[in-house]
Structure 1
Amino acid sequence: MAKLKLMDREWASFFIGGENGIFNIEATKSGIDKNKLKTAKDGKTPYITRSETDNGINLFVPDEQMRKYKKDDGNVITIGLDTQTVFYQKNSFWTGQNIQILKNDNLNYWVAMFLIPLLKIQMEKFSWGGNGATLGRLNRTQIMLPINLDYQPDWQFMEDYIKQKEEEKIKQLIDYYTQQATDILIQTASITDREWKAFPFNEIFEEIQRGKRLTKSNQIEGDIPYISSSATQNGVDNFISNEKNIRKFENCLTIANSGSVGATFFHHYQFIASDHVTELKLERPNKYVYLFLASIIKKLEKKYSFNREINDKRIQREKILLPINDNAEPDWQFMEDFIRQLEKNKTETILKYYNTMVNNEKSARGGVAHLLKDYKWSAFKISDICEIFSGVRLTKQDMNEGETPFIGASDSNNGVTAFINNHNASVDSDVLGVNYNGSVVENFYHPYQALFSDDVKRLRIQDYQGKYAYLFLKTAILKQKKKYQYGYKFNAARMAKQKVILPANHLNQPDWERMEIYMQRLELQKITQYIKILHSTKSRILINN
């Protein structure tokens, strides 16, 4: 099917309800006050309210309710009278007060997904109280819709358009999650049908050479990629044509020494390298082996930061785990074959190796849980394992709108309460933001640069950096939440003294590496579930086409 475009269609205005409207709009049949509901732990029927979240579902209740109430049928759109919330309800449901039900024989999930954004735009003119989305006001409201040759709403186009958008998004998500799964499988040596061994860089790569400094002012516009320490666009920072005082490379990897430290990319083309990256070249260059190695080398990001670069001596000493053959040498053929399998069918390859890993762990040690099950745990003061920094007070009146996340004492949206253009001493990244006021003890990991409220403390793990270590620590800190309430702040002094229970190594220090592997395996478990769901959804769309 050719790509469908909204601008290729003629549009016309239609009343939402009323005699000539596209919907039959009725008030809910039930409208049960929550305190009159019959509830049960095994309730399966949605109870819809005017909530703005969870598709309006407040809870699930049994089908048996008071006789005077009638359950509403599914395949309808619901609108909250005062909150102007708009949702599609696939299955039958009970409701709270003030819910309007919109019905149309042409409605289905995909048509509803097309209509709901248009309805939401119109709902913005209504408000809480005397100007809510009443039946009369809804009947008089109009929306623009694509039309067919009979000047009627083109329901088929709406359905096909959303299906096409869903297919595009599902493909993007499958690509994203399979790449995430690939990185975790390789980085954690989770391909369990192979032995793995650590090798220093200078045994793996024939050539390890840093690029050469070239300032912006000395760069001449051209067609040759200039590779620097960016973590995006394959490290390409510019396109230049310089020929003097430069270093050119081709068919190799680059690793960022500073800036986005550890960012690793394969370049099959000729390029010029800045002094912020180092070239890594194999004796026998191979695209597929390079792609395998790039996933492993990325793991070095957690060891370094903007303040600690990978200098020439460190990179020579660095070691990476690689699958080995019967001679205990790097199994280059396996690496190539693995990446080739991914190119043919990413999902099938990921699930194959994941299932092998899970089956091995279940038979030998009991699944992912075995990673911590028999491990030694110890109590650590937060101040003994983390540096603690304060945020800076910034009132709403003093905020300038911008793109930098501002972290407040919130329990949602990863703690981000605004996007600003201010600057102060709280600017930071790769830290845990812990609320000591407001939603006390709630905490989030921030890999990106952000500003922090004075209600949020920043925690930086001492002598270790890594996303998954922070995610493990986040959960350990959350276990202390019940100790602190709004009247009992999690202030700096209490935070410093607070102990958390963590896995410990033989030196009785936090075993951050073990925690990271555990969290990565959990993430891998979830990713494989998402991939299966996405493929199932994709199949459902194809069947309904």
Structure 2
Amino acid sequence: MKVSLDSVEWKEFKISGIFEIVNSKPYHKTSLQKGFTPYITRTSFNNGLECCVKSDGLKINPRNTISLGAENADFFYQELEYITGNKMYYLKNKNINRYTGLFLVKMLQSSIKNCGFGYGKGLTGTRLKNRALLLPVDSKGDPHWQFMEDYMKTIEQKYIEDILNYYNKKLLDNLMTGGDTSCSNLSFRDKSIFIEDGLMKIALENLKLEDVEWREFKISDVFEIYTGALINQNEMQQGKFPRITATDLNNGIAFFTDDLKHKNFRTLENFISISFLGSVFYHKSKVSLDMKIHGIKIKNKELNYNIALFLIPLIKKFAFKYSYGYQLSTSVLKGQKLLLPIDSKGDPHWRFMEDYMRAIEKEHLEKITAYYNAKLNESNRRSGGFDLVEYKKFIQNQKQLENVKWKEFAIGEIFEIKATLSGIDKNKLNGKKGNYPYITRSDKTNGIDDFIDKQNGYKSNEANVITIGLDTQTAFYQNSIFYTGQNIQILKNDQLNKYNAFFIIVELKKFMEKFNWGGNGATLARLKRGKILLPIDPKGNPNWQFMESYIKDLELKKLKNIKDYYQKKLYKYKNIS
């Protein structure tokens, strides 16, 4: 169904007649801790999101509302519950959802265009409530909520189709120029768990190749078995002991609790946990066990990290089949059989297991860490763990880097480094919006704080450079003419482009890790003297072409995943319609 703005009647409404306008309770960032609740401030970027914080005991704003920053006069639809910083309001109406919310944001922003609201003349709740808002109306003369929703769904579908066309073209261009077409599963977990998972999977694949005798053992013959107990979570307080529950994530840890004088508060250390649903993890330090979490320890021998890593994939071979409808009880666990390598006496060959995992770790630890970091840098957060097939492809591809020669260069040897030509304090901007990025020392949105108009009396900086934030040690590539705030350094080289810049920025950030806020920042002199490691060409110069090609290959993998994501969304739309 085609939905057009010309197909409906429009009418002006008083904003206070449509929305409840609420002055949001302010919270200062310095008093907050990192968590999962969106913290919305007066920034004009990232949907107003500054960061995510803990919200325990704080007044939370409802989901499906529209936030308003008084001083920047920006509206954003908020799909989740959130808290805000200072001078913030929110607009509430029961008909607001994701689609009507986005429609309303556009109309609200249009209604204040060229009215001069911003820093110095804030759009307060009092000023907003008496303003008029033009909206489509239904047959009764009320706001046409269904039309707004349908219109935005149409826009979204077209947007998805445009994205698909764009990425299909990008992929085709890459294939025509011989780019790498391998596609990665880009999921990851906590680093240590991810690496352990990788080592176990590599070991499991190779175990069958080892020339060693094996024998079946009942769990109860080899291990002592312990089981956790139920405690009401309200009786526990936050503390240092991990609470192990029936989850496949975070090494089985649900939260951290304090020590509790309770008969059901059962703790264990240096053991393997097996949940009634089949999750298996190793725990070196003391933890608390929830109900139906089993703990096993080797009889008459101290368990260690390497033996545990050997045992876990073997335990998972029988543990995977259990679920809520078919639970792994203590009595069932006792009778489970485990195939283990044996020594000359027919006992479990613990030394072989330990030595085997040490050898695996020595061979693969560095490679798995590099593999993990590559996945992490591609920033795809889908669930999952170590992928053995993908890892093998990664190791094969790494030969490309291994065959390249590297050399240290002083940054001042490669780049012309100079201070920004502008350096404008935000309160000295002329207040007009425009198309010029205003770059500050922020570590978000490529350092862009705002888009501003031409600033008379100040020089702009040229495009195709890297900006460095003096105190924050941020590094970003700038592809257009821009202005900056204070303490921004500029790196320039005629060979620089979007792709090799991203490669070099990674090396620059490694170098700047030792700097911090205050007197130990990335000053002009320190930058010039600083050294970074770069691939070189046969003449010993930075290999700009290799850096460009390497980043293009990474981009291709990302493009394919984006394309797959939107292809699925479009498929869903077409099935619905």
Normalising by structure 1, report the TM-score. Answer: 0.53
What residue in structure 1 maps to residue 350 of structure 2?
Answer: none
Q: Distance in 2 between matches of 1:480 and 1:522?
A: 22
**Is 1:116 equivalent to 2:105 in the alignment?**
yes
Change (3 A) 1:74 1:192: closer
What residue in structure 1 maps to residue 165 of structure 2?
Answer: 175
**Deviation, structure 1 residue 36:** 5.6
Per the alignment, in what secondary structure is the counterpart of residue 18 of structure 2?
A: coil
State the identity as a percent.
25
Whichever residue aligns with residue 133 of structure 1, its letter is: T
After superposition, what is the alpha-carbon deviation per residue over 1:146-189, rounded to whole angstroms, capped at 9, x for unaligned?
11222221212211222222222222221112222222334244
After superposition, what is the alpha-carbon deviation per residue over 1:230-281, rounded to whole angstroms, capped at 9, x for unaligned?
xxxxxxxxxxxxxxxxxxxxxxxxxxxxxxxxxxxxxxxxxxxxxxxxxxxx
After superposition, what is the alpha-carbon deviation per residue over 1:422-468, rounded to whole angstroms, capped at 9, x for unaligned?
9x999966x4344587977734253x68899997545225xx56542
Per the alignment, in what secondary structure is the counterpart of residue 50 of structure 2?
A: strand
Q: Distance in 1 between matches of 2:64 and 2:433?
A: 41
CA contact (8 A) 2:63 2:82 kept: yes
Q: Distance in 1 between matches of 2:439 and 2:143?
A: 45
What residue in structure 1 maps to residue 65 of structure 2?
Answer: 76
Size of the alignment, in residue pairs? 363
Change (3 A) 1:539 1:108: farther
Bigger RCO of structures 1 and 2 (CA < 8 A, at least 6 apart): 2
**Deviation, structure 1 residue 496:** 4.5
**Deviation, structure 1 residue 363:** 2.4
**Deviation, structure 1 residue 59:** 3.1
Change (3 A) 1:531 1:359: farther
Deviates more, 1:526-535 or 1:183-192: 183-192
- Gapped regions of structure 1 (runs ≥ 5): 194-357
Q: Distance in 1 between matches of 2:453 and 2:497?
A: 25
- Gapped regions of structure 2 (runs ≥ 5): 184-386
Q: Distance in 2 between matches of 1:393 and 1:98?
A: 33
Change (3 A) 1:24 1:467: closer
Superposed CA RMSD: 4.8
Change (3 A) 1:152 1:191: closer
| 1:79-478 → structure 2 map (5 Å cutoff) | 79-96=68-85, 99-122=88-111, 132-134=123-125, 136-191=126-181, 362-366=391-395, 371-372=400-401, 376-384=405-413, 386=414, 388=416, 393=421, 431-435=464-468, 442-446=475-479, 457=490, 459-460=492-493, 467-478=498-509
Whichever residue aligns with residue 5 of structure 1, its letter is: S
Change (3 A) 1:81 1:372: same
**Is 1:528 equivalent to 2:520 in the alignment?**
no
Change (3 A) 1:542 1:75: farther
After superposition, what is the alpha-carbon deviation per residue over 1:101-144, rounded to whole angstroms, capped at 9, x for unaligned?
3232322111111111222344556556896522x444322201
Change (3 A) 1:131 1:437: closer
504, 510, 524: which is aligned to 1:479? 510
Whichever residue aligns with residue 24 of structure 1, its letter is: E
Q: Distance in 1 between matches of 2:82 and 2:452?
A: 36
Q: Distance in 2 between matches of 1:371 and 1:126?
A: 54
Q: Distance in 1 between matches of 2:543 and 2:536?
A: 5
**Deviation, structure 1 residue 510:** 3.0
What residue in structure 1 maps to residue 19 of structure 2?
Answer: 23
CA contact (8 A) 1:368 1:518 kept: no
Per the alignment, in what secondary structure is the counterpart of residue 366 of structure 1?
A: helix
CA contact (8 A) 1:404 1:449 kept: no
39, 51, 54: which is aligned to 1:47? 39
Per the alignment, in what secondary structure is the counterpart of residue 25 of structure 1?
A: strand
What residue in structure 2 maps to residue 59 of structure 1?
Answer: 51
Change (3 A) 1:109 1:391: same
Change (3 A) 1:126 1:377: same
Normalising by structure 2, report the TM-score. Answer: 0.51
What residue in structure 2 maps to residue 5 of structure 1?
Answer: 4
CA contact (8 A) 2:73 2:118 kept: yes
**Deviation, structure 1 residue 16:** 1.7
What residue in structure 2 maps to residue 240 of structure 1?
Answer: none
549, 554, 573: which is aligned to 1:517? 549
